[in-house]
Structure 1
């Protein structure tokens, strides 16, 4: 119900997910995501925005906008690109298939994978190790890394083009079909129109 019927891009600077991701990224202390179960859609982006990720062995991660014919916003795409390499980001966004935590750990996207029974202990042990270090140094390094990770060269024209591409989807018949199918709990029939 939060997505518009047609033609309007619902994501803006004040979008709650964008605000949450910005808060995570700019918070002066490290934020550790402790993941058990599945994190899909915006939850996946939220986890990727965290500084460190510790996940249960059976956790899965998925980016699912392609299932509804919803384009991902540019800020969210940058979150994925800052967490994963381009090929993995494309796989996640194009297939919308869940990726196991162990695979993401082997690719350096997740810091540690552990048994679910040990998840809390492993996460808190990491937090204690961080807390034992100099907080000002960590805060400054976190901000430096955030700025460097976001240092993607792009012209204003390219940024406008990327933003404008989202309208192609929001003005499409497939967008309306994706929303209808989601509400009717059925598989959408996309026609590329």
Structure 2
């Protein structure tokens, strides 16, 4: 049986591929467990500096596998699975390493919210997006009630979630859900070009920037206090010294994460 999630590392970039193409990479227990395992590997590997999340075939992720969900018996089993799905989104947001969503096609339901959990989103111009939960009598999960209004505002989030309507990639980009929309022929190159840039960046600075940007509950005074403490510590790191030296010497910096 083919693995539900594939994992590969090259040039300090871990690629995690959801691999259930016949079901449009919909989420069942195997796929979610596979995502957790892949994130474990990427997080533990000091050689990995950036993560790319994508799907095989013509979809990124079509959300929950309805046949699998329908087969779950009892509230406890259903609750455990939804919690495990949500934990994938949470892990992506709290891990220090940057995660790029490489959206190659159809993205619906929890797949949209998994995409939004990532730090950057690159999508095919042919991709379509739908918060389709209400059409099957459900509320958004995988962090959708948090991620979508944060990205596009509460009123537009309500519209997409209430209707479940599909939107195209240019519309999603205009709303603020995507960083870049690319033709299929250039999408992969653009994703890995950015992944390479992030992999070569200062990991301490990237990780801390991500941590504080994802904490939306901070007040201005709290942010200023964090900046004061964290910036003074980073100024003493080897990476900062290397970055300043490289600037003056007009060369690319060689960061080490120290």
Q: TM-score, normalised by structure 2?
A: 0.53
- The structure-2 alpha-carbon separation of the partners of 1:127 and 1:13, relative to structure 1 and needing over 3 Å to count, comes to same
Show the 5 A alignment for 1:1-193. Answer: 1-3=68-70, 8=75, 10-11=78-79, 15-73=83-141, 75-148=143-216, 151=217
Distance 1:32 1:3 in 2: 31
On the 8 A contact 2:114/2:142 being kept in 1, the answer is no
Which piece of structure 1 moves more, 86-95 or 111-120?
A: 86-95
Cα offsets for 1:164-185 (capped at 9, x unmatched): xxxxxxxxxxxxxxxxxxxxxx
Please report how far the alpha carbon of residue 21 of structure 1 lies from its aligned counterpart in structure 2 after TM superposition.
Answer: 0.3
Cα offsets for 1:72-130 (capped at 9, x unmatched): 35943012222221122112111111111111112222000010111100001111122
Please report how far the alpha carbon of residue 140 of structure 1 lies from its aligned counterpart in structure 2 after TM superposition.
Answer: 0.3
For structure 2, which runs of at least 5 residues remain unmatched after alignment? Answer: 1-67, 220-258
On the 8 A contact 1:24/1:50 being kept in 2, the answer is yes
Equivalent position of 1:158 in the other structure:
none
For structure 1, which runs of at least 5 residues remain unmatched after alignment? Answer: 154-193
Distance 1:12 1:64 in 2: 21
Distance 1:122 1:14 in 2: 33
On the 8 A contact 2:86/2:141 being kept in 1, the answer is no
On the 8 A contact 2:107/2:129 being kept in 1, the answer is yes
Cα offsets for 1:141-164 (capped at 9, x unmatched): 00001112xx299xxxxxxxxxxx
- The structure-2 alpha-carbon separation of the partners of 1:140 and 1:5, relative to structure 1 and needing over 3 Å to count, comes to closer
Higher RCO structure (Cα 8 Å, ≥6 apart): 1
The structure with the larger Rg is: 2
Structure 1 consecutive aligned stretches of length 4 or more whose deviation exceeds 4 Å? 3-9
Which piece of structure 1 moves more, 115-124 or 69-78?
A: 69-78
